[in-house]
Structure 1
Amino acid sequence: MYLTQSLHRAVRQSPDVPFTVYNGRTHTATETYDAVSRLAGGLTGLGVRGDDRVGLLSLNTDRFCQIALATAWADAVVVPLNTRWSVTEHAYALDDADVRVLFVDDAFLPMVAELRARTPGLRTIVHCGDAPTPEGLLPLARLLAAEPVEDAHRQGDAMAGIFYTGGTTGLPKGVMLGHRQLYITALGTLLHTELPRGGTSVLAAPAFHLAGFAFWIVGMLADMTTTPVAVFDPVGILRTIQDQRAKQTLLVPAMIQAIVGHPDADAYDLSSLEVLAYGASPISETLLTRARAAFRSARFLQVYGMTELSPSTTLLLDADHDDPVLRRSVGRAAPYAQVKIVDEKDTEVPPGTIGEITAAGEHVMLGYWKRPAETAEAVRDGWMHTGDVGYMDERGYVYVVDRLKDMIVSGGENVYSTEVENVVAKHPAVVQVAVIGLPDERWGERVHAVVTLVPDATLTLEELQDFCRKEIAGYKCPRSLERVDQFPMSGAGKILKRELRTSTRSGTGGTQD
């Protein structure tokens, strides 16, 4: 299996069916095939050869899809860049991956001059937006005018892409994924779940992030028309689902929170949506309940994993969501995965025992780009060590308790931030919450809650502690509280806890008790 295979099938079986619909533009399978083969010809003309890396700095658009396919078609490796990164972070990844050709859309034109200065290895920057092409950049139309070339049919363990991690714990690492890894997860997910066939799939999660990229692949395999959404906006997503009669979408919890909390959410017809997949970060039971009420016709699918697992390793099916215990889990191992919980000596622990979640299978990454030592540390005897703390029950359901680095040791007791977050999120005044550990002279670390509140709501530390004590032990309750207007977020929709810790310790956070 390989990235361009779905396009080949589509052009033979449904040549006139829309392959992508974006911003008033519709490209059929035949039109997409022509564009991709010409873009690949253009890349070849720029000197791109087998295994070369091609950078892609773009919002979710039809051109993102075409360029990613064309890169594989030209026997090269796509390097999607995080659209929320700074110039410094982009320059690091471009230099690290030795990218010589970079595509940029309109949103990132202001970065181009500095990117050139910081990344001398860049030979060519191609403008793939709708605005006039600035001087010194190559217009996409030039590549589209090239003679089409034959597909290289790059496949198997040949790299499809280098996907950089968010860099929330230091310099980003490039995760090498092959065509086999990406398609094993896509096929396994499609066959094991009740995902629809045909119709429209809304690409709402950022496509540079593997959750969005992989969901796009699933949609192509299911013969669906992809409708990318460039910038997340609750009303924009609601309108797209309604107007396109979309059958499926993937959202991260922060997106779901914004959608179900929007005052006009009930005004849109969402009855066409058959599947709402979610993942990338934990979701509270309170938010999940609200989401199922808002998307009444949709079956819910939780996907758990990480970029290094292409990206999923467990699936929580819709029926599991009806069980009040199981819906707190992340599901069971997908058909292509093995999952086990291990102790610090990598010995598997009995059911119900907390340890590190590990996974094995053909979906495990090829490795970290240029980081053999870190690859060897992460993948031991074929098992990817996720860094997540959790346990497995007798039926194989996995429960994520925390990240290893986010576990708080307060007064000699282990406190898992996710457990506290799930309780705090139930408070009616709380919109969103993150729990971190802060240094404390008495306790070693103290449990610190950072929250955003509903409009005009108030919440004191004492009120929150009283609320939490009804469900968790006193030592787990927050010992300090901070209110902020918004959280620092990664492009994947994850709260950047490292930035919260830094801002809190430096006194630049919000109101504190």
Structure 2
Amino acid sequence: MKMFNNINDHTSYHAKRRGEVMMVSDNIKTLSYAEAWDHINAIAAHIQAEGISKGDRVAILAKNSVDNICIFLACARIGAVAVGLNYRLTLSELDFISSNAGAKFLFMDQEFNSLRGDYLNSINSVCLDSDENAPILAEWLATPASLTEVEVNGDDILFQMYTSGTTGLPKGVLISHGNVLANSYQAPLSTGIGFREGDRALVIAPSFHAVGLVGALLGVIYGCSLIIHRDYDPVGMVETLAKEHINSVAVIPVMLQFSLAMVPNIKDYDFSELHTINYGASPISETLLKECIDAFGCDFVQGYGQTEATMALTFLTASDHRKALAGQPELLRSCGRAVFGSEIKIVGNDGQELAVGEIGEIVAKGPQIMQGYWKNPEATAKTVIDGWLHTGDAGRMDEDGYIYIQDRVKDMIISGGENIYPAEIENHLVSHPQIQDASVIGVPDAKWGEVPLAVLVSGGQPELSAEELTEFCREKLAGYKIPRKLEYIAALPRNPTGKVLKKDIRVMMAEKYPAV
């Protein structure tokens, strides 16, 4: 018999071994491991009663909550595949994703009813809270339903998470039970900091993001207690870290910056039980790190990865951060070294490994690499070659194995922790009759890290104003994707084959948009 072959083995074990320990809590509901296991089984049985079988897709359009995480685990219980939907997307974007996934059932928060397009309106749904158009979860669970046991293996898909590509079309990343279990074992082995029975973790990142979902699942795997925040609140985060005796939390640096700014009396709080703040999406400045260590008095760990790698490919450990502050500040520009059981190398355009210090594409191999893209073998073949995940990020490796990201091969912009792909925005911009040509780059921003800048070639007079551009984008693009800044130039620089030279555009804009 294979033990710990899937996440269900872990959840059931903790329910039997430490059933009285709190597993999940939000501002509405608190469940022990035993109570949560019963709740998970009840939801799973009712999902089966809706005709959902192993391998079927179940969409979840909801913010963080006890019920949300239990629904993900209920899908896992019967081998169904959870598809978390990003509620920050537009109706048309969500309609494409849900139809592409072929979702057969929907769990949702009532507040997102307006985001249901033709496809989501065509399938049965249950609301986690009140709604006139769908059953409420509690009422739906009130009718009897029996659970049919399903064999779930490590290679079975646990969840399908959508990430945009350079073409702007979202792709469904297939992450298996084995992928998540592998990454959950790799993390403590790589950082030297592991979850322990009784640890209390604060979950803030949304469940449609790998950091939010995989981070929560990792806590469940190790039998921790999860305190769940529905949204990020800079003051609420600080208060919860102190009052709920939190041991660890995962954030992005801008969240720390906001909390320090919004809580001027932060030194009055007791963070004595907080041992680790994990962060990702962008490096942390030496100044902010010192301020955070002074305020929170805990260790810091940076993780680098992407959805296609479940969550983590590298870690900059707590000891690395201490080295940085003790005289090696350049380490803070690194995203760390490869996680346990993984290989990372830097390759050139020909796929050959480059020498130490040379810049090329970061590629990685390990047990956490995705199973592929849903119904997209061509994209899978281009992304995973001979087992190596081509990240699309350009970087270099030093003689000690530390990775330094130099640029994004795919020109991805990271704004406030959200991944933004310029091609999607550019395709929409050039559909406007007053825009002849368009390129989008990321420019530094003190608040969000970077924001999209639209560099346009006018297609006629008068030129669009920033307000008009925002209004044009609002219908088709999520708010965080809309360019915050606008510049006009006579023509976009291109190479002989017609490819836009974004490097040249960045140079052109560097003086006006300097690093902050």
Instruction: Give the structure-1-normalised TM-score.
Output: 0.78
Q: Distance in 1 between matches of 2:341 and 2:142?
A: 38
Tell me which residue corresponds to 1:59: 63
Whether 2:504 is the aligned partner of 1:500: answer no
CA deviation after TM superposition for structure 1 residue 374, in Å: 0.8
Report the Cα distance in structure 2 between the residues aligned to 1:398 and 1:337, rounded to whole angstroms: 14
- Gaps in structure 2 of 5+ consecutive residues: 427-438, 449-465, 471-477, 490-511
Q: 1:307 to 1:30 in 2, by over 3 A?
A: same
Shift of 1:316: 1.0
CA distance in 2, matches of 1:301, 1:275: 7
8 Å CA contact retained: 2:162, 2:170: yes
Partner Cα distance (2:486, 2:182) in 1: 41
Q: Within 5 Å, which residues of 2 pair with 1:66-145?
A: 66-112=70-116, 115=117, 117-119=118-120, 122-129=122-129, 132-137=130-135, 139-143=137-141, 145=143
Deviation at 1:169? 5.7
Please tell me whether residue 184 in structure 1 is matched to residue 202 in structure 2.
no
Are the equivalent residues in 2 in contact too, given 1:43–1:143 (CA < 8 A)? Answer: no
The question of 1:289 aligning with 2:287 is answered: no
Pick from 335, 340, 345 the counterpart of residue 335 of structure 1.
340
Structure 1 24/98 Cα, relative in aligned 2: closer, same or farther at 3 Å? closer
Question: What pairs with 1:466-481 in structure 2 (closer than 5 Å)?
Answer: none
Q: Residue deviations 1:437-482, cap 9 Å, x none?
A: x9xxxxxx9998453479xxxxxxxxxxxxxxxxxxxxxxxxxxx9
C-alpha deviations, 1:116-165, integer Å up to 9, x for none? x3446x42011012xx3313445443135433415525221111111001
5 Å-filtered alignment, 1:337-416, equals 337-406=342-411
Partner of 1:147: 145
What are the ranges of 5 or more consecutive residues in structure 1 without an aligned counterpart? 408-416, 422-433, 439-444, 455-481, 487-493, 507-511
- Separation of aligned partners in 1, 2:29 and 2:406: 44
Which secondary structure does the structure 1 equivalent of 2:483 belong to? helix
**Distance in 1 separating the partners of 2:293 and 2:126:** 42
Structure 1 residues 85 and 453: alpha-carbon distance in aligned structure 2, compared to 1, 3 A threshold: closer
C-alpha distance in structure 1 between counterparts of 2:411 and 2:45, whole Å: 47
One-letter identity of the residue aligned with 1:255 = M
Q: Are 1:50 and 2:33 counterparts?
A: no
Q: 1:191 to 1:145 in 2, by over 3 A?
A: farther
For 1:56 and 1:332, locate their aligned partners in 2 and report how far apart those are by CA, in whole Å: 34
SS of the aligned residue for 2:161 comes to: strand
What letter corresponds to residue 500 of structure 1 in structure 2? Answer: P
Secondary structure, counterpart of 2:159 in structure 1:
strand
Task: Give the CA deviation at 1:503.
Answer: 4.4
Code of the residue aligned with 1:208 in structure 2: it is: F
Alignment partner of 1:161 out of 159, 162, 165: 159
CA shift, 1:495, in A, is: 11
CA distance in 1, matches of 2:139, 2:440: 57
Could you say if the C-alpha distance between residues 233 and 398 of structure 1 is closer, same or farther in structure 2, counting changes exceeding 3 Å? same
1:6 CA drift (Å) = 2.2
Shift of 1:73: 1.0
* C-alpha separation in 2, matches of 1:168 and 1:252: 23
* C-alpha contact (below 8 Å) 1:285/1:328 kept by paired residues: no
Give the stretch that moved more between structures: 58-67 or 160-169: 160-169
Equivalent pair of 2:253/2:279 in contact (CA under 8 Å): yes
> Could you tell me which residue of structure 1 aligns to residue 302 of structure 2?
302
| Deviation digits for residues 317-374 of structure 1 (CA, Å, limit 9, x no counterpart) | 1000122232221111101211000011011011111111000111111111111111
Distance in 2 of aligned mates of 1:288 and 1:97? 41
Q: What SS does the aligned partner of 1:325 have?
A: helix
1:30 aligned partner, one-letter code? A
Partner AA of 1:353 in structure 2: E
Change (3 A) 1:144 1:369: farther
The answer to whether the 8 Å contact 1:337/1:359 transfers is yes
Distance 2:136 2:147 in 1: 20
What's the CA shift for 1:166?
4.9
Confirm or deny: 8 A CA contact 2:126 2:140 kept in the other structure: no
Deviation at 1:167, TM superposition (A): 6.3
Amino acid at match of 1:451: D
Match of 1:458 in 2: none
Work out the CA distance in 2 between the residues paired with 1:452 and 1:315: 25
Residue number in structure 1 paired with 2:273: 272
Residue 277 of structure 1 aligns with an amino acid whose one-letter code is N
- How far off is 1:401 after superposition? 1.1
In terms of mean alpha carbon deviation, does 223-232 or 250-259 score higher? 250-259
Query: Hey, what does 1:233 align to over in structure 2?
Result: 233
Does the CA contact (< 8 Å) of 1:195 and 1:275 recur in 2? no
SS of the residue corresponding to residue 500 of structure 1 reads coil
CA distance in 2, matches of 1:386, 1:277: 21
Q: For residue 164 of structure 1, give the secondary structure of its aligned residue in structure 2.
A: strand
Q: Deviation at 1:210?
A: 0.7
Q: For the Cα contact (< 8 Å) 2:97–2:170, is it kept in 1? A: yes
Question: Which residue is equivalent to 2:27?
Answer: 23
Aligned 8 A contact 1:37 1:148 in 2: no
**Contact 1:38 1:145 (8 Å CA) reproduced:** no
**Cα-Cα RMSD:** 3.1
Letter matched to residue 70 of structure 2: Q
Distance 1:139 1:8, change over 3 A: closer
Residue type matched to 2:267 in 1? Answer: D
Aligned residues: 434
CA contact (8 A) 2:79 2:156 kept: no
Over the matched positions of the two proteins, sequence identity in percent amounts to 31
Aligned residue in 1 for 2:193: 194
User: What is the rounded CA distance, in whole Å, between the counterparts of 2:9 and 2:238 in structure 1?
Assistant: 31
Deviations 1:472-512 (A, max 9, x none): xxxxxxxxxx9xxx9xxxxxxx996x643874459xxxxx7
**Which amino acid counterpart does residue 33 of structure 2 have in structure 1?**
A
Return structure 1 stretches of 4+ with deviation > 4 angstroms: 166-169, 445-450, 501-506
Deviation at 1:106, TM superposition (A): 3.1
Return closer, same or farther for 1:199/1:501 CA change in 2, 3 Å cut-off: closer
CA contact (8 A) 1:202 1:246 kept: yes
